[in-house]
Amino acid sequence: MYLASDNIGPALPEVMEALTAANQGHAKPYGNDPWTERASAALRALFEAPEASVHLVATGTAANCLALATMSQPWQAITCTPLAHIREDECHAPEFFTGGARLNPVGQAGDKMTVLELDAALSGLPQGVVHGSQRGPVALTSVTERGQVYTLDELGALCDVAKAHGLKVHLDGARFANAVAALDCSPAQMTHELGVDALSFGATKNGCLGVEAVIFFDPSDAWELELRRKRAGHLFSKHRYLAAQIEAYVKDGLWLDAARRANAKAARLVAGLRDLPGFTLAADPQANMIFATLPRATHKRLFDAGAYYYIWEGELEGKDPDEPLLMRLVCDWSIPEAEIDRFIETARNVA
Ligand SMILES: Cc1ncc(COP(=O)(O)O)c(C=O)c1O
């Protein structure tokens, strides 16, 4: 009953087959191979962005940080939510890669950023004063770190605020496929058509072995990103193996199909848990992540019964058996329905 993350499952068989097929003979290194050319063309076609530049890396942290470093200056503030992965979970890599840009959290403990919060935060950074932060890019995430999906209107309105301040927008799409599946829109509609300038297009969590793509919809900064990627040690010499994964992942809508499967499993899971005694949703899940509380004693019994997931807030080893602790449940593309049902049944037995 593995529900801790979407990076604990296997890679898609199509991706593994593509890697085996790519594992023949010799190919030029550092991205000068036919797989890279085809994968970049496939992403440009998928995003209806013929000019876009595509840069492959192995981790989401590298994708986010190299993109943001290219988009900002060391004296700028990158505005994001307090719970943003770049702020909470990347070990200050954004500060490291940008050479000192500051992450400027917007909003309270909430998850999505609102237009009013963003506008107030940007307006609150005095410009032209040498002593303070200068305004830099706005960094959004969807699916958000708490499992929410910005509607196209919400995303568009945030992009409009950024543009009104003359700023660029980066989207952390570690779960981009799950967001597109939830919104039933096209990749273009969720990105450059709204004003998103750069995307970290996640693939690892949704069925690749290890590859993410930075996509710049305006390629003017492409060369700088190339230099930064090399300098950071993220330019793979055997680049064809990154590209072969992406090529298979986006072929015939595999990426979306995998995300739809993951989202459907999460919907099945939440439907089965909704009326469980002591179970309270933090928010209605919109993609493949569920945040909810259960009493400490129920968590303990679930873990004893073999469930594997993360307690997100609170300590399992506390005294009060009834204290609600926040958990995160994540479904990946591969989790069988029988596993979901086994988790639901176990939870019902121990609640
Ligand atoms: C929102 C978000 N962004 C980015 C990442 C990428 O992280 P990693 O560097 O582990 O691939 C993750 C992974 O947990 C994530 O949840």
pLDDT at 128: 87
Q: Is 60 in the pocket of ligand 1 (CB under 6 A)?
A: yes
Mean pLDDT of 69-84: 97
Q: Which of 196, 226, 253 is the last residue of a domain?
A: 253
Tokens of 176: 């981009």
Phi/psi of residue 330, each to 5°?
Answer: -125, 135
The vertex-69 CA angle with 68 and 72, nearest 5°, equals 80
Residues in the chain: 351
The CATH number of whichever domain residue 283 belongs to comes to 3.90.1150.10
The CATH number of whichever domain residue 227 belongs to comes to 3.40.640.10
Phi/psi of residue 246, each to 5°?
Answer: -65, -40
Greater confidence, 54 or 111? 54
What is each CA distance from 289 to 125, 227, 269, 331, in whole angstroms? 34, 35, 10, 7
Determine, yes or no, domain membership for 154: yes
Say yes or no: 228 and 138 in one domain. yes
Say yes or no: 285 and 201 in one domain. no
Q: Is 173 in the pocket of ligand 1 (CB under 6 A)?
A: no
pLDDT at 111: 87
Q: What is the pLDDT of residues 183-195, one digit of tens each?
A: 999 999 999 999 9
Residue 9: is its pLDDT beyond 70?
Answer: yes
Determine, yes or no, domain membership for 43: yes
| Ligand 1 atom with the shortest distance to the CA of 172 | 3
Mean residue pLDDT of the chain comes to 97
pLDDT at 107: 85
Phi/psi of residue 28, each to 5°?
Answer: -60, 145
Q: Please, which residues have CB within 8 angstroms of residue 348's CB and are 6 or more apart in sequence?
A: 276
Residue 109: is its pLDDT beyond 70?
Answer: no
**Which residue's alpha carbon is nearest to atom 12 within ligand 1?**
174
Say yes or no: 200 and 242 in one domain. yes
Q: Is 53 in the pocket of ligand 1 (CB under 6 A)?
A: no
Q: Is 172 in the pocket of ligand 1 (CB under 6 A)?
A: yes
Residue 108: is its pLDDT beyond 70?
Answer: yes
Amino acid at 203: A
- Asked if 169 contacts 138 with a C-beta cutoff of 8 angstroms, the reply is yes
Q: Are strands 53-57 and 289-295 parallel, antiparallel or unpaired?
A: unpaired
Q: Which of 210, 238, 253 is the last residue of a domain?
A: 253
What region does 94 belong to: left with phi over 0, alpha with psi -120 to 50, or beta? alpha
Say yes or no: 202 and 260 in one domain. no
Say yes or no: 229 and 141 in one domain. yes
Determine, yes or no, domain membership for 240: yes
**Which residue's alpha carbon is nearest to atom 5 within ligand 1?**
60
Determine, yes or no, domain membership for 238: yes
Q: Which of 253, 284, 315 is the last residue of a domain?
A: 253
Q: What is the pLDDT of residues 248-269, one digit of tens each?
A: 999 999 999 999 999 999 999 9
Mean pLDDT of 65-79: 98
Q: Which domain holds residue 345?
A: 255-350
pLDDT at 62: 98
Say yes or no: 161 and 244 in one domain. yes
Say yes or no: 246 and 265 in one domain. no
Determine, yes or no, domain membership for 8: no
DSSP 308: B
Mean pLDDT of 64-91: 97
What is each CA distance from 157 to 103, 190, 281, in whole angstroms? 21, 12, 27
Say yes or no: 116 and 260 in one domain. no
Say yes or no: 109 and 146 in one domain. yes
Residue 221: is its pLDDT beyond 90?
Answer: yes
Helix segments in the chain, DSSP class H: 13-22, 34-46, 60-71, 85-88, 93-98, 115-123, 152-164, 176-183, 222-231, 240-250, 254-273, 296-304, 337-350
Say yes or no: 114 and 216 in one domain. yes
Q: Mutate which of 7, 56, 57, 61 to test ligand 1's pocket (most atoms within 8 Å of Cβ)?
A: 61
Q: Is 59 in the pocket of ligand 1 (CB under 6 A)?
A: yes
- Asked if 215 contacts 49 with a C-beta cutoff of 8 angstroms, the reply is yes
Say yes or no: 229 and 322 in one domain. no
Q: Is 55 in the pocket of ligand 1 (CB under 6 A)?
A: no
Determine, yes or no, domain membership for 2: no
Overall number of domains in the chain: 2
**Does the N-terminal peptide bond of residue 143 adopt cis geometry, omega within 30 degrees of 0?**
yes
Determine, yes or no, domain membership for 181: yes
Q: Mutate which of 5, 92, 172 to test ligand 1's pocket (most atoms within 8 Å of Cβ)?
A: 172
What is each CA distance from 151 to 75, 113, 183, 191, 308, in whole angstroms? 32, 12, 7, 12, 31
Residue 117: is its pLDDT beyond 80?
Answer: yes
Say yes or no: 206 and 269 in one domain. no
Determine, yes or no, domain membership for 93: yes
Q: Mutate which of 85, 201, 214 to test ligand 1's pocket (most atoms within 8 Å of Cβ)?
A: 85
